Amino acid sequence: MAKAMTKSQIADHISKKAGVTKKIAGEMLNELALLAYKEAKNAFTLPGLGKLVLVKRKARMGRNPQTGAAIKIPAKKVVKFRVAKACKDAVLG
């Protein structure tokens, strides 16, 4: 299995495709990430890739795997990424 691409490899690929410098491509990646962080609470969509959404989890009962004792897991907010159908079809075939 091949290794995941690094940020610099992604920036290099974008710079070649878009005809810009690696520095500008890297800044574009950074700005895209910052925008996604800022807008995630309102659902941030990357067309053709997926959507970042903020989900509220309810409080629930769980178990300590070591002792088997029941514990209360508090409610919390989590960020989830929902993969777009187009991405699933392209990756999975």
Structure tokens at 48: 């053709």
pTM score, two decimals?
0.76
Contact status, residue 42 vs residue 62, Cβ threshold 8 Å: no
Nearest-Å Rg of the Cα atoms of the chain is: 19
Task: Find tokens 């290794």 and name the residue.
Answer: 3
pLDDT tens figures, 31-86 = 999 999 999 889 999 999 999 999 999 999 999 999 999 999 999 999 999 999 99
Q: Can you give the pLDDT at residue 2?
A: 81
- What is the pLDDT averaged over residues 6-13? 94
Task: Find tokens 């990424």 and name the residue.
Answer: 81
Task: Find tokens 């178990």 and name the residue.
Answer: 63
Map out the domains of the chain with their CATH numbers: 1-39 (no CATH), 43-93 (4.10.520.10)
